[in-house]
């Protein structure tokens, strides 16, 4: 005897109760869908007694104490949240995979599931016929009426299996359970339910399910409902005898019970078919619920979603859009073997798709594609409009013949293309176009669900990055506007004394007479005053936000000019040394001169502020840096100072208080990052192994406007 007894039944781990593998598979898939509802999840979970028990047990744990009075199952799932439900699904699958079931016990599980679901549907139907509210409570009680058997099976699978398979009589089973465990399965089930929900008659309904009808005649209605529904699900008693009990307990006639029983069988059959289970409820309803194939499928799903969760983390760690896109392409290659891919993103107005990155060697040509989002024009836009995957390799349909699709296939150097839309509820992100051959496309069928879930995650990542970019641009615009207002105010204040000086010069000129030498000197002073006034006005206008790109910029010369100014104004006074390593093959590039000048100025000043006397600022340039088929030029600004603290590095480009003191708002590097983004470039930062910080800027290598 294991000596379980009611007093130590609390030691049973409800989290490891066995479930029907096919229900677990459906729950894993549903919980990873982007647009899944809690109602859909509840519909899946409430097809399995063990899963339902786990949800109720977790929801009634001390961690969720404030929600312990919630009775509605859908609301329980909302309280737990999607991540908890995913965890329940995955951990249940793992436990199921390593359970000790054999073929015989797998068939018993099939019968157990059939009877549990039959009892649940029967209890709900009876609740409707007898006006018992809530009917969902009756369903749940029916579903859990044999949960004690699962608990005992988990406790001692070897010995209890013999009882389950070889003891047809309830009275004999109770006696053998008590001998082996010190308690019956109904007592254990009732005890567990009372722990979760002490304020209802659920536990009483489970405890008294085996009693004769006349013994429960005066009990609360839920007890009577489960007592009768349990007997219906067992199919051991003749129908005439059951109908007599229905008349005694509820005043229901035999035709009513027969109609109800037919409806219950249809409900169970529908639930089974939704899981891919084929059996006849009107027969014994048995099937092998725990086959080797089911376990292998569970193992595959667990593996796939472990990979997907790793990919999700990879994407969530990428806040900048360009890095997020690189992460998406990397994960597509790792998870699905997509080695030739292009990303088309929706423009803000949603009217066009623009190629932004890809792993094709021809991307320099492909990025010229700007595709109107109109139906019937190409497979790429049709995929986004229909929010579905499409491929030129799909022989079951007749995809449109588009020159664009043929071009993309040719540039990707593949037999055909596969279009994966990035759809988000707030804003469609775009389309990933993968180049595949026929064999690769056919292999996708095994991973289609996982691929769609990955696309949902990728779409969310793109949406978040774009929203973050918009927020940062808003901060930049506000900062520019503030600087413009401040410059305008200072220009206005400066012009007042300049006007007074100019007026006094005119008066002085009149008093000094016609001496040519003196008048020439006064004229020079007047011209210089006018020049100062113009400089002040230009300083004000330089903060305007409507600046346009004009011409090309010699990056090396711009760096030399800036460093020349810093040598006189900053480096010399603090004995700072500069080292320039400029690639003389670097061509002039099409970019915004003033923005680039502001970026370099801020980064050089940032380096200076961190350096002691005799420090070193190093600036280098490099040509033809290839990133995913796109050409960039590289600018590196480094110093040999103390480096950037780890806590500052985490938010280095965010507008927070900097490590330089309260007078610094931490916006300098935020502005730099936004200016770089405005030039379609990227910026990164790291500490050098031997000390000091290093900023690396990549700008598009465009040599013409």
Identify the CATH number of the domain in which residue 694 sits. Answer: 3.30.565.10
* Bridge partner residues of 548 (DSSP): none
Conformation bin of residue 81: beta by default, left when phi > 0, alpha when psi is -120 to 50: left
- Domain termination site, one of 409, 437, 467: 467
Q: Domain limits at 90?
A: 15-99+290-308
Looking at the domain assignment, is residue 198 inside a domain? Answer: yes
Distance CA 56, CA 432 (A): 41
Q: Say yes or no: 351 and 459 in one domain.
A: yes
Looking at the domain assignment, is residue 449 inside a domain? Answer: yes
Closest CA to 146 of 175, 178, 170: 170
Looking at the domain assignment, is residue 43 inside a domain? Answer: yes
pLDDT reported for residue 420:
93
Q: Say yes or no: 246 and 130 in one domain.
A: yes
Q: Say yes or no: 276 and 152 in one domain.
A: yes
CB 370 within 8 A of CB 377: no
pLDDT reported for residue 102:
62
297 SS3 class: helix
Distance CA 469, CA 355 (A): 18
Q: Say yes or no: 280 and 351 in one domain.
A: no
Q: Say yes or no: 230 and 320 in one domain.
A: no
Q: How far is CA 357 from the centre of its chain?
A: 21
Q: Say yes or no: 161 and 241 in one domain.
A: yes
What would the two tokens of residue 598 be?
């502001």
- Backbone φ and ψ for 39, nearest 5 degrees, come out as -65, -40
What would the two tokens of residue 682 be?
């990227």
Q: Say yes or no: 679 and 606 in one domain.
A: yes
Looking at the domain assignment, is residue 299 inside a domain? Answer: yes
Q: Say yes or no: 130 and 264 in one domain.
A: yes
pLDDT reported for residue 252:
92
pLDDT mean by block of 10 residues, the chain; 705 residues: 45 68 82 78 88 80 59 76 74 63 72 89 93 88 90 83 82 88 90 81 91 92 93 81 91 92 89 74 58 70 61 61 79 77 87 82 71 89 90 75 85 89 85 89 78 83 80 75 73 70 74 75 72 63 48 87 72 81 91 85 84 89 88 92 84 60 49 85 90 91 75
Q: Say yes or no: 244 and 114 in one domain.
A: yes
| C-alpha separations of 184 from 108, 190, 206, 210, 324 in Å | 18, 10, 12, 12, 57
Looking at the domain assignment, is residue 4 inside a domain? Answer: no
Conformation bin of residue 666: beta by default, left when phi > 0, alpha when psi is -120 to 50: left
Question: Angle at Cα 43 formed by Cα 42 and Cα 44, nearest 5°?
Answer: 90
pLDDT reported for residue 661:
41
β-strands 370-372, 616-627 pairing: unpaired
- Backbone φ and ψ for 573, nearest 5 degrees, come out as -70, -20
Number of structural domains found in the chain = 5
| DSSP strands (E only) in 554-593 | 577-581
Looking at the domain assignment, is residue 243 inside a domain? Answer: yes
- Domain termination site, one of 445, 467, 489: 467
Looking at the domain assignment, is residue 8 inside a domain? Answer: no
Query: In terms of C-beta distances under 8 Å and separation of at least 24 residues, what long-range contacts does 675-680 make, across chains too?
Result: 675/476, 675/595, 675/598, 675/599, 676/599, 677/469, 677/472, 677/473, 678/592, 678/595, 679/591, 679/592, 679/595, 679/596
Q: Say yes or no: 676 and 607 in one domain.
A: yes
Q: Say yes or no: 107 and 94 in one domain.
A: no
Say which CATH number the domain at 410 has. 3.30.450.40
| DSSP strands (E only) in 611-675 | 616-627, 630-639
Distance CA 16, CA 5 (A): 19
Q: What's the per-residue H, E or C state across 520-534?
A: HHHHHHHHHHHHHHH
CB 345 within 8 A of CB 356: yes
What would the two tokens of residue 29 be?
């898939």
| Sequence-ordered list of residues with C-beta below 8 angstroms from that of 514, at least 6 positions apart, any chain | none
Q: Enter the DSSP assignment of 284.
A: T
- Domain termination site, one of 511, 541, 571: 541
Q: Say yes or no: 498 and 634 in one domain.
A: no
353 SS3 class: strand
Say which CATH number the domain at 61 has. 1.10.3210.10
pLDDT reported for residue 1:
34
CB 117 within 8 A of CB 322: no
């Amino acid at each position: 005897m294991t000596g379980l007894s009611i007093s130590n039944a609390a030691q049973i781990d409800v989290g490891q109760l066995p479930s029907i593998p096919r229900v677990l598979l459906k729950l894993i898939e549903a919980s990873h869908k982007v647009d899944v509802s809690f109602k859909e999840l509840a519909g899946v979970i409430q097809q399995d007694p063990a899963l339902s028990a786990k949800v109720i047990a977790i929801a009634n744990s001390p961690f969720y104490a404030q929600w312990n009075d919630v009775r509605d199952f859908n609301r329980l799932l909302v309280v737990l949240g999607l991540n908890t439900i995913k965890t329940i699904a995955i951990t249940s699958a793992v436990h199921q995979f390593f359970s000790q079931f054999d073929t015989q016990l797998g068939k018993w599980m099939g019968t157990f599931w059939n009877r549990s679901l039959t009892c649940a549907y029967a209890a709900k139907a009876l609740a409707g016929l007898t006006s018992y509210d809530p009917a969902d409570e009756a369903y749940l009680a029916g579903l859990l009426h044999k949960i004690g058997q699962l608990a005992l099976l988990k406790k001692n699978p070897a010995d209890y299996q013999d009882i389950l398979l070889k003891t047809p009589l309830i009275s004999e089973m109770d006696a053998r359970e008590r001998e082996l465990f010190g308690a019956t399965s109904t007592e254990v089930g009732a005890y567990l339910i009372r722990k979760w929900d002490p304020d209802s008659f659920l536990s009483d309904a489970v405890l008294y399910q085996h009693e004769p009808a006349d013994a429960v005649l005066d009990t609360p209605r839920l007890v009577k409902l489960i007592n009768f529904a349990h007997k219906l699900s067992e199919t051991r008693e003749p129908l005439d005898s059951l109908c007599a009990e229905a008349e005694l307990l509820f005043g229901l006639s035999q035709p009513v019970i027969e109609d109800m029983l037919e409806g219950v069988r249809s409900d169970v059959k529908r639930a089974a078919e939704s899981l891919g289970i084929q059996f006849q409820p009107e027969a014994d309803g048995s099937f092998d619920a725990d086959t080797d194939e089911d376990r292998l499928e569970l193992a595959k799903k667990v593996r796939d979603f472990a990979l997907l969760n790793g990919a999700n983390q990879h994407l969530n760690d990428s806040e900048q859009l360009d890095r997020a896109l690189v992460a998406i392409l990397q994960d597509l290659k790792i998870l699905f073997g997509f080695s030739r891919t292009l990303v088309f993103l929706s423009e803000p107005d949603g009217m066009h798709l623009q190629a932004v990155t890809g792993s094709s060697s021809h991307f320099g040509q492909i990025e010229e594609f700007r595709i109107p989002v109109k139906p019937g024009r190409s497979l790429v836009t049709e995929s986004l409009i229909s929010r579905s995957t499409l491929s030129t390799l799909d022989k079951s349909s007749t995809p449109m013949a588009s020159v664009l699709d043929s071009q993309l296939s040719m540039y990707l150097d593949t037999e055909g293309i596969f279009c994966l839309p990035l759809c988000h509820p707030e804003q469609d992100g775009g389309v990933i176009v993968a180049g595949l051959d026929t064999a690769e496309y056919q292999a996708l069928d095994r991973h289609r669900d996982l691929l769609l879930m990955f696309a949902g995650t990728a779409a969310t990542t793109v949406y978040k990055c774009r929203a973050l970019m918009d927020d940062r641009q808003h901060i930049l615009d506000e900062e520019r506007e503030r600087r413009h207002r401040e410059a305008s105010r200072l220009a206005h204040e400066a012009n007042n004394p300049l006007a007074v000086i100019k007026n006094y010069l005119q008066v002085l000129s009149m008093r000094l007479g016609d001496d040519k030498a003196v008048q020439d000197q006064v004229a020079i002073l007047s011209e210089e005053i006018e020049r100062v006034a113009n400089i002040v006005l230009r300083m004000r206008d330089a903060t305007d936000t409507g600046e346009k790109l004009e011409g090309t910029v010699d990056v090396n010369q711009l760096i030399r000019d800036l460093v020349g100014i810093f040598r006189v104004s900053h480096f010399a006074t603090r004995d700072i040394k500069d080292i320039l390593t400029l690639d003389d093959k670097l061509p002039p590039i099409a970019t915004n001169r003033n923005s680039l000048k502001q970026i370099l100025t801020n980064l050089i000043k940032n380096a200076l502020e961190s350096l002691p006397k005799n420090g070193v600022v190093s600036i280098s340039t490099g040509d033809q840096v290839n990133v995913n088929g796109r050409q960039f030029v590289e600018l590196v600004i480094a110093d040999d100072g103390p480096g950037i603290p780890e806590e500052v590095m985490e938010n280095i480009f965010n507008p927070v208080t900097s490590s330089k003191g309260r007078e610094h708002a931490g916006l300098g590097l935020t502005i730099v990052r936004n200016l770089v983004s405005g030039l379609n470039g990227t910026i990164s930062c790291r500490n050098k192994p031997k000390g000091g910080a290093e900023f690396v800027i990549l700008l598009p290598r465009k040599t013409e406007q």
